[in-house]
Structures are given as structure tokens and as C-alpha cells.
Structure 1
Amino acid sequence: MGAELNNRLFSAADNLRSKMDASEYKNYLLGLIFYKYLSDKLLEKVVELADENHEEYDTPNKQLILYKELLEDEDTKQDLIQTLVDTLGFEIEPEYLFNVLAEQAKQNIFQLNDLNKAFIELSTKYDQFNGLFDDVDLQSKKLGSDDQQRNVTITEVLKKINDVNLMGHDGDVIGDAYEFLIGQFASEAGKKAGEFYTPHMISDMMAQIVAIGHEDKRLFSVFDPTMGSGSLMLNVRNYLNYPDSIKYHGQELNTTTFNLAKMNLILHGVDKEDIRLRNGDTLNKDWPSDEPYTFDSVLMNPPYSAKWSADNSFLDDSRFNKFGKLAPKSKADFAFLLHGYYHLKETGTMAIVLPHGVLFRGAAEGVIRKKLLEDGSIYAVIGMPSNLFFGTSIPTTVIILKKNRTERDVFFIDASKEFIKEKNQNKLTKENIDKIVDTYKNRENIDKYAHLAEFDEIKDNDFNLNIPRYVDTFEEEEPIDIEQLSNEIVSLNNEIKQAETDFLSMLDELEITEDTESLIRATKEVFR
């Protein structure tokens, strides 16, 4: 199914690639996939509510016929609409359904204005869709210089996306589509594209770690203050026994990406009552400031070494005032870390991805790191391989933090050498992730892979957390056996001499002609 989705996306992108860059056409493709998902989901729900056989109504077109029949019956119409709104949170009129518009596209009678009306209808009727389709600008000159050309462009895209079976996609539809688009067109999408998406296996590892000990919790809250497409938060549900009772809290500065996260949560069937998201600057103003403002888990993959104001007024901010210093203006890494840590419950776990510099840089960052270590806040440091993220090849570290610990030891894992190398970037396998998580749970020394460092050891290292100080991965070369090497050289020389002798004998047996005599004589001179 993943291959089918990717192939359709690649094909649909062909109609847009020459007109705009990847960061723009990505929005069109994801927006249209999302709208198709909503349409298909509604039609499946109609079959279910009508208590009909899904095998009989196995295509959107057959489901559409049933939907229209039910709406024509005045006795069932209002009840059906109300039930759809109650169960799905929305309804869509038949003429605006994706497969209806795509069918018109196949017959070349599609009108762009109908799709525009469909977006407006959904966005104005239901709060959860407000602004979600703003980036699908159907009037953009980049789609074509006039309405007719824009119509042709979107017609082709609709036709290519329509055949994808989104209901049969067993995964994170928007996340998978986004990862494919960014990966496939990373050079076009620009260096910063990877900021909005954490590769699945890293996200999976972090989700497993923050869920440890909370598996049976009936009400669980997750917070991602730099949520990107929301995939980090959503992965937690895979490791809890009550995934439908998770409360999702997230913030994102980029409006387009904020909308992407909203789509992602809706696609995963998360009820709007369980979603609390904000489009805003995480560092500039604390959020959330009202209850609840602490969470069972905090997951973060912030932009690395971003700039921020570091204004002195932040020294009075409750997120930062215990640490004596602010993260430097040119590197907001610790500002993001402290923001997330402030919002962590006393019983919770936080996982954050950051560049290695936070482990050893001095000045203000050294002061903050020392305070965190003295408080026992840093629970584990995991070194990841380089070139895992889209748009950056730097190696990263995942730092795990907890509150109210009686111990101040830190567990180090060096997982930087274990990965598979692919064409454009490195990948982690399930085995790589399982090893990291199992090692993290056991918290025991493993030669050249993991080390539990006591506080005094960290103090002796001047609170420097650079992983090679604690996990020695140096491989000594095997000592050379001089006598054996000497014997091998003598044996090899003898073999060479024998080969030369055999070769000269062969030359003597060759038939000598005027053409070959000088060549044979010259060859023999070389071996004398």
C-alpha cells in the first residue's frame, strides 16, 4: 500500500513540479489527500450506519449511490446527517465528495470552483477544519495563468490521487505521504524541510521510551511544543493499552505545518475534545499557562541551534529562572529543552532530539547543563547515527529527562554505529531500535555500547556529557605476528619467482616470427 501511495504522489507531483517548488506543491497534494480521506471515511460510515454489507458496497461509487438514496428519503435524511456529525464530527454533501469531483475530472467537466466551494463549506461549518485548506490556493497563478489552465492542472492531480485506497492504508497516511514527499524532493524542498518531520523509527523509539511505566494508564497526556506534523505525539498511542483516552497538546510556529498536524490527528480518528493545539511561538510566550499545563510525556524535535531573543526579561520566566542563565541568542537548544521540561509532570518522562553540542558546550549552556545534572534531571543520553534526518547530516542525541529522582546518575547509550546505509540517508532498523529500548530499560553497562555513569564520574568530567568520555568504542587493532608476517612474505616472494619462471618458459615455447621477436626479447629483459 505504501508503494501505491508513493507512486500516485510521484505521478501527481509531475503536474505541479514544473510550476512551483516542493514546499508549495506538497501543500496541494497533502490537502487533497486529506479531503479525499474525509470523503472516503464519510462514505464508509454511511454503509455502516445503514447496516449494509461492506463487501457489497466496496467502492466509493457504490457507497455514493447508497448515500444519495438515504438522503432522498425525508424520514432518514436528518437523522443520517446528525449521526454523521455526531460520530465523525462533519458531513459533506454528495456533490462535494472527492470521488464525485474526481469523476468529473475523468470526464473533463470538473470545475475548480466546485472544489473551492467544498473547502469553504467544510471550513466554515466545522471549527476543526478552519484554515486547514488555506494552503491549497486554487487561485494561485502558479497553477496556471487563467482559470482554464488552473482547472486543467487540478483535474490531472485529482485523477491521479483518486485511485488510492486511503481506507486500506495501514499507517500514518499524512505522515507517510509527507515523509515520501520530503525524502523524494528534499533538494527542492530546501534544507529546513526536515524540521517538520521526525523519521518514523526515531519517533517510534522516543514514543516507546516515554510510554514505559504508563502502559496501563487510563488517562494519558502528551505534549509536543514543536510538533511539526504531529507524528511524534501520535506514535505514543502504539505503546499504551488505552490509546483512545490520550489527550494531545501541541504547538507549532509554522501555520502550514500546524494545519498538517491538525489533519494528521483527525486522520487518526482523534476526537476534537482530545485535541488542544496552538499556532504560535513556543519560546516567546509560555503556553499552556492554564490547567492542564503539565503532562505525562513531553516529546520534542525542535529546530536545531535556532536563534531566539534571549531577552533578560526571560530570567524572571518560571520556565528558565531556576537555571541562572539563558540559552544564548544564537542557540536556543536549551531554551526549548527547559520549556518542555517545565511542562513535564513529576511522574512523567521527556524525550528531546538535539545536536551533540548541548552535551559539551560551555558558557551559559554549561551552567544550565550543570544545574540539570545536579538536580538529577538528565536520566539518559542516547547518541544517534549521523544523516538520519531530512536536510541535515549532523549526528544527533536524544536526551531523556525526569523529575524528582533520588539518584543523579546518567545512562549513556552510543547507538551511532548501528544503522543501515541507504542512498540519500541512513536508516534505523527495528532491530536497532529494539536494542536501544531494551538497553535503556535494563540500564546496565554493555562494552562499547552503554555505560551507567555515577554523578561523581560526571562531576570529574566537569559536567561534560560528550558520549565518548563515557562509552569507549575504540577498537584496538590485533597485534601483528612479525614471525608469521615474515614467513608469509618469504612464501609470497617464492610464489612470485615461480610464476616468473613459468612465464619465461612459456615465452620460450612461443613461435618466434619477425613481428614477435623484438617483443619477446623486451619482455624477457623486464624479468631479468
Structure 2
Amino acid sequence: MQATIQTKLWKLTDDARGHMNIIEFRNYLFCLMFYAYLSEQVKKKRNKGYTIKKKYLFSSMVDNVEHGIWNNELLKTAFVEFNNSIEGTESAEALYDIFDDVDFSSTNLGRTEANRSLVISKIILGLKDIDFSDSRVSGEIFEYLIASFSAASGKNTADIYSPVQVSKLLAQLVGNSSNEINGVYDPAMGSASSLLQVGSKVKVKNYFGTELNKSTFNLARMNMIIHGVKFNKLNLRNANTLDDDQFKDKKFDAVVSIPPFSVNWEPVDDVRFNEYGKLAPRSKADYAFIEDMLYHLDEKGTMAVVLPHGVLFRGAAEGVIRKYIIDKQKSLDAVIGLPNNIFYGTMLATVVLVFKKEKNHDDILFVDAFNDFEKTKKNNVITDDGIDRIIDAYNKRENIAKYAKAVSYDDIIKNDYNLNINRYIDTYEDVEVNIEQVERDLKRTKTRIENLDIKILGLLNKL
């Protein structure tokens, strides 16, 4: 049933959006899904911090559409009433301006009011069969649609949507030895997939996250709430983490992120970045994100971040920062190479870096999980067995031929702090060669070449 609904909703995207940009249509669909979820909580008397009058409930809107009396003005009024209802309540911070990404008067929705109302009515009917009283069901459908829109956009969406298997890996790495986490933090949370995966692995008391893009920030809030996370557990901010630290001196048990890869940034004088001897280069903010995350990591916490492969070996300022982390902090715990082509819209090779400020070993574990994937139509997907294999290797820290190796600091220093995985794990496969067969093949090839030379010479003599 659930798979049927997912397929039906994706077909609705093609049928209803017309010439509208797919991401713009996504915003309308998600806003209506989220409103339907909130309406269902009111009907079940689970709502805290907001109210929705009966005539503005999603089920009432479905009735209007089915009776042919739908007009978008009703939805506009409903959203205004909803915003008024949250003022001064415990839900205000979690829900403020959450529907700002949709404009029911936009000509992109349709040239006339009738056309615009028709598109919205199609979406309403497409959502009517979803059981929004069940956070598990509605949450899975929401995640499915986020993934589908990311894949269909044709753009690099790694900073918006984290493939579930990658987020699951990060969650298992940071929640590996805990049953409960006081706080988990993501400085570039995208749609909050990684935060949610941590919450599915261990009990989380509070979620902290920052997202620069306003539309993605709204999507993240919807995603967490529709998955059943309570308003009072959410501490999410719409801001640029690197420019404006939203959580100052707060420390977290778990820190996870898949920040935008190698983006530009404007270096600032900030305690988070000052101890490393150099600032991350303006053209690549990868190490600036690492430094922010390390600053907010509790002394006994664990941090896991996905970054492009270049952070392992790039020199100049990044080389200075990497040397400081290895030599002085000794906080880098593991380097895990991931399969190529696991993110939508980018073929970049990526790695997971795991950090701990308190370690009981003087080495760094290297894992080459490059081949632990299944191929799909557009992307490679890390398998569950692949995740289990990585976690098992991380926990045991044993040398596994062509897969995992715990490398001493001395060996890393000998390699000039270059963390390229193939410097430490030899994945070369021995190939048996039949010398006699090779000699026979060479003789045959030589004979063919001599025969061709004779033919070519004969043709030239005839000219």
C-alpha cells in the first residue's frame, strides 16, 4: 500500500506541475503534506502550540475539492490563521514562517486563479489516502519524495539530501557506544536526514542544526516534525554556520554532517578557527566545517563528517591544518573511503572522517569501503552489509587485508601527513600470468604484423 502511494505521488508530480520548475512544485507538495500532517494531529488531539479550525482542516479541504467548490483563497486564509495561532506558544520557534516558500497567487502555478486552484486541488486529492496520523508512514513517504526530487533535479544535492545509507553510516559511527545522547549537532543539516538517522539509532534529548538556504531550512523542520520529533527538542537555525555561530560555546555528544563540498567562504576572526595556524582557503571551506564541528564536540563525544577526497592530501593551508589535527589534537580517529557516485548530481570521491577528542589508541584507522555498493540506475548505494562491515572494522580496529588497517602516527608522519587511503592499504590484486601462453601470443602477433607488412608493401608497389 505504502509503495503504491509513493508511486502515485511521484506520478502526480508529472501530471500536476505542468511547466513549473520541479523544485518549486516540490515546495507546494511538501507544504501541503506538512499541513495535512498538522491537521491530523489536531483531529487526534495531539496538537500542542497551534490550532486549526474545523473548516480549515485538511480533511475539510478534501471535501471541498470532491464537491467541486475548491478555491485557493481558503488555503491562503488557513495559513494566515495557522501563523496567528502559534504566536507566543511553545511551537513558535519550530513553526514560524514554515509555509513561506509557497505563493498561491504565483503565475508559475497557473495563469488564472482557476488554473492555480486546479493544480492545488490535484495535490490535495493526491494526498488524501495517506495516513498522516502515523509518523512512521508519513515520515517514510516524506523521505522518499525528498530523495526522488533530489534525483530528478539533475543537480548536486548532497548538501540538501543525504542518501539514507550514508546518513545511517554516520549515525552508527557516532551512536556506536551510547544508548542516549544529550545533543546531536549538524552545522549544515540540509533536510535533516542525518539528524533523524541518529535519532533512529539512539535516544536523542535535543537536536541542533543550522541551514543556510531558507527553503531547505523549512524542509528540514517539516521533515523532523513529520517524523514525530517534538517541538521542544528542536533547536534549528536558518543561518550561515561559518559566518555566524548559532550555538557559541555549546558542546555536543554527537556531531554529524555532510556539508557542501569545497564551497567558497569568507574567513573570519573566530575562536573556532584560530588555533590551527592557518585559516582554511577562501575557495574551499571543508576544513572550516571540520574546525566548527570539532569546536562544538564534547570531550567524550564522537564526530563523523563526509567530505571530498581532497581533504586527505591537499597542501598549503589545508596541509598545515591537517598536520595540527594529527600532531597536536590527535583527534582524528578513522578515515573511511566511500564508493564513488553515491550522491545525486556529483561523481566526487568522498570519505568519512571520524573524530574523538579522547582516544585510547595512538593510531588512525583506515578503511577502504570503495567496493561496498550496489549499482542502481543513476547512483551507487552502500549496502547494509557494507555498513555492517565498516562498523565492525571500526569497532575492532584490526588489520584486514586490502580493507582496513590501523596506522601509527609515525607512519603518517613518514608520509608527510598525507592521508590518501591507498598509501596505507594495498588493494593491488595479484594476477597469475602464464608466461608460455604470453610467448605464444607474442609470436602469433609478430607473424600477423609481418604478413600485414608484406601485403602493404605489395599494394604500394602497384601504385
TM-score by length of 1: 0.79
Corresponding position of 1:21: 21
Structure 2 CA distance, aligned partners of 1:427 and 1:226? 22
* Paired AA for residue 255 in structure 2: V
Aligned match for 1:334, one of 279, 287, 301: 287
Structure 1 counterpart SS, 2:229: coil
Measure how far apart 1:363 and its partner are. Answer: 0.3
Structure 1 counterpart SS, 2:206: strand
Q: Which residues of 2 match residues 77-476 of structure 1 at below 5 A?
A: 84-85=46-47, 88-126=48-86, 127=92, 128-167=94-133, 169-170=136-137, 171-183=139-151, 185-187=152-154, 191-215=155-179, 217=180, 220-240=182-202, 243=203, 245-289=204-248, 293-310=250-267, 313-314=268-269, 317-374=270-327, 375-405=329-359, 407-476=361-430
Structure 2 CA distance, aligned partners of 1:272 and 1:41? 13
Q: Work out whether residues 208 and 437 of structure 1, in 8 Å CA contact, stay in contact via their aligned partners in 2.
A: yes
Larger helix fraction of residues? 1
Structure 1 CA distance, aligned partners of 2:290 and 2:143? 24
**Structure 1 residue runs without a partner (length 5+):** 47-83, 491-528
Structure 2 CA distance, aligned partners of 1:299 and 1:250? 10
Structure 2 counterpart SS, 1:251: strand
Structure 2 CA distance, aligned partners of 1:226 and 1:163? 34
What is the root-mean-square deviation of aligned Cα atoms in Å?
2.0
Q: Work out whether residues 387 and 426 of structure 1, in 8 Å CA contact, stay in contact via their aligned partners in 2.
A: yes
Structure 2 CA distance, aligned partners of 1:5 and 1:255? 28
Measure how far apart 1:96 and its partner are. Answer: 0.9
Q: Work out whether residues 248 and 275 of structure 1, in 8 Å CA contact, stay in contact via their aligned partners in 2.
A: yes
Measure how far apart 1:104 and its partner are. Answer: 1.4
Structure 2 counterpart SS, 1:27: helix
Structure 2 CA distance, aligned partners of 1:389 and 1:484? 42
CA offsets 1:129-160 (integer angstroms, 9 cap, x no match) = 22111112111111111212111111112112
Structure 1 counterpart SS, 2:79: helix
Structure 2 CA distance, aligned partners of 1:483 and 1:257? 61
Structure 2 CA distance, aligned partners of 1:477 and 1:17? 55
Corresponding position of 1:80: none
Give the aligned length: 434
Structure 2 counterpart SS, 1:148: helix
Structure 1 CA distance, aligned partners of 2:438 and 2:237? 70
Structure 1 CA distance, aligned partners of 2:167 and 2:28? 25
Q: Work out whether residues 230 and 264 of structure 1, in 8 Å CA contact, stay in contact via their aligned partners in 2.
A: yes
Q: Does 2:2 correspond to 1:38?
A: no
State which drifts further: 267-276 or 135-144: 267-276
CA offsets 1:345-384 (integer angstroms, 9 cap, x no match) = 0000000000000000000000000000112111000000
Distance 1:210 1:105, change over 3 A: same
Structure 2 counterpart SS, 1:400: strand
Corresponding position of 1:498: none
Structure 2 CA distance, aligned partners of 1:411 and 1:329? 30
Measure how far apart 1:181 and its partner are. Answer: 1.9
Structure 2 CA distance, aligned partners of 1:450 and 1:125? 55
Measure how far apart 1:437 and its partner are. Answer: 0.9
Q: Work out whether residues 445 and 451 of structure 1, in 8 Å CA contact, stay in contact via their aligned partners in 2.
A: yes
Measure how far apart 1:223 and its partner are. Answer: 0.4
Corresponding position of 1:11: 11
* Paired AA for residue 227 in structure 1: M
CA offsets 1:450-501 (integer angstroms, 9 cap, x no match) = 01000000000000000100111111212326279969x99xxxxxxxxxxx
Q: Work out whether residues 124 and 130 of structure 1, in 8 Å CA contact, stay in contact via their aligned partners in 2.
A: no
Task: Give the fraction of aligned pairs with identical amino acids, expressed as a percent.
Answer: 40
Q: Work out whether residues 122 and 129 of structure 1, in 8 Å CA contact, stay in contact via their aligned partners in 2.
A: no
Structure 1 counterpart SS, 2:351: strand
Q: Work out whether residues 375 and 381 of structure 2, in 8 Å CA contact, stay in contact via their aligned partners in 1.
A: yes
* Paired AA for residue 25 in structure 2: Y
Structure 2 CA distance, aligned partners of 1:299 and 1:276? 15
Measure how far apart 1:93 and its partner are. Answer: 1.4
Measure how far apart 1:167 and its partner are. Answer: 4.0
Corresponding position of 1:526: none
Structure 1 CA distance, aligned partners of 2:440 and 2:107? 76
Larger CA Rg, structure 1 vs 2: 1
Structure 2 CA distance, aligned partners of 1:391 and 1:129? 31
Corresponding position of 1:509: none
Structure 2 counterpart SS, 1:142: coil
Measure how far apart 1:406 and its partner are. Answer: 5.3
Structure 2 CA distance, aligned partners of 1:208 and 1:6? 27
Structure 2 CA distance, aligned partners of 1:165 and 1:485? 70
Q: Work out whether residues 344 and 350 of structure 1, in 8 Å CA contact, stay in contact via their aligned partners in 2.
A: yes
Q: Work out whether residues 192 and 224 of structure 2, in 8 Å CA contact, stay in contact via their aligned partners in 1.
A: yes
* Paired AA for residue 196 in structure 1: I
* Paired AA for residue 161 in structure 2: Y
* Paired AA for residue 316 in structure 2: A
* Paired AA for residue 38 in structure 2: L
* Paired AA for residue 39 in structure 2: S
CA offsets 1:292-317 (integer angstroms, 9 cap, x no match) = x110000011000100112xx52xx2
* Paired AA for residue 200 in structure 1: V
Corresponding position of 2:455: none
Measure how far apart 1:4 and its partner are. Answer: 2.5
